[in-house]
Structure 1
Amino acid sequence: MKLSRLAVVAATAALGLGLVHPAPAGARPVEPDSTQSAGDRSGSTAEHRADHRADHRADHGADHALEPGPALLSPGDQGDEVRDLQARLAQIDWFDAGVTGYYGDVTEAAVRGFQGKRGFPVTGEVDQRTLDRLHQMTTQPTAEELAGTVSTNTPGALDPRCRTGRVLCVDKTSRTLRWVVDGKVLKTVDVRFGATYTPTREGEFHVYFKDADHVSHLYGSSMPYAMFFSGGQAVHYSSDFATVGYNGASHGCVNVRDLAAVRWLYGQVRVGDAVVVYWS
């Protein structure tokens, strides 16, 4: 059927008046499929508030550039600038793996997600456009944030078994360990668990041995401030966890990356204290 001259004129006028809008080009970018992915945090309240503030300060014309700029930071980099990047991404809930200073898969996934939400070229590398917007949306990280000593994981409700006595309460869901005495939480730290082929056991146990300078007889690795609770599995400090975060895993132990915190815990925990490992 041919359109009448009047219909053509009306449609043309509608376009000219801005009453008809073409569909936006491009689709929402998809996060990479990775077991260590930072996840899709496009709905985070912290980010929405930060984005709202940034929208009042940003030069919107720069957002429409389709070409990425030269990479300032990219996978494989490490150092203070990467720590700053990770801490800022954590402030707006794009990064929850802990500040390590190493630009690995988790950091790349977080940057890709951040770029996609902004409508920037999704490269996983930090260019000037990405860095400028991130700085507009965040504050200068504190010394604690840069050191990775601020927990980025949110623990759930205490397991009922953790509410009585002296308990190392280990929540696999939130990846946290809480030191609880008579129902009061005295310390919370981030923890890491065993890989799928060497899982950390769940259940109720007791500390049966402590060794501040332990070295694994099986793997030859250092296990400072080890508190053993189940057949060779222990809560202990892990330099690997402190370096690469959740990009790695233990051989079944409960790894702690905060050296000062695990040293303090070691001084508090006694042989015979309870250890509860569970999914919340």
Structure 2
Amino acid sequence: MAAVLVVAALAVGCHPVKVTGSGSPDSKGTRYAPTTPAPPPLGRHTPPAAAKHTTAPRPHRTTHHAPAAPRPVMAAGSRGAQVRELQARLGQLGLFDRSPTGYYASVTTASVRTFQRRQGLPRTGAVQPTAWRALRSQTRRPSHTELHPPTTRPVGTPDPRCMKGKVICISKRSNTLTWRVDGRIVSAMDVRFGSQYTPTREGVFALTFKSRHHVSTLYHTAMPYAMFFSGGQAVHYSADFAARGYSGASHGCVNVRDKTKIAALFDTVKKGTKVVVSR
């Protein structure tokens, strides 16, 4: 009889069937049959259980780096004997128009760039090994005088009128004075000249007189070791030139800034000594 009632209840689908034995009791002590999950409807996809996530190992990648550029032999900020040699060698090629200083700054950088351009090399302004080898192959080893010249700028080619006898040879082109004996340089020094309103006269002259402690009667300024060659124009030591350099100018005289050298020249030359001032 109980089996018939179960079948009838399932057929109409109204209330759960009261059974005895196992099951969960309700508030009245009635036990219910345990519920069995219904199977999924036919034709529907049942997703599989989630698979355990695993990470596949990444393949090893080899990174290819470009070869590092060679370290420069010299660059801006370098200083010393090798820089002095570099400047002297560039000077032999006409690429450095000053006397070697041993300090690698903007002028040297520009000269190196010009050389690199001529050689078809990268214009870095720093001396790479390739550029240094090329420069050395195209120049000779600088002499001591080339490495340690007596003036800020090269003396340059002398005026032909300076090549015979004892001559004070003054060049406006190089801003230098050389004391020459039959063309040979005995001493050399930096000089500056008058402004455009009070220019230093050019030509061939002779010393008229010397005054060791001279003071200008016109400008009331000291002119130590004055050696007059054309009217009131003279070669003399200038403290202003020593302090300010080429930012100033004279009133027509030839200023010298090395006091030791001008003093030695003053003691050497005599009245009548030949003076050549050339452009």
With normalisation by structure 2, the TM-score equals 0.50
With normalisation by structure 1, the TM-score equals 0.50
**Which protein has the larger Cα radius of gyration, Structure 1 or Structure 2?**
2
Greater relative CO, 1 or 2 (CA 8 Å, sep 6+): 1
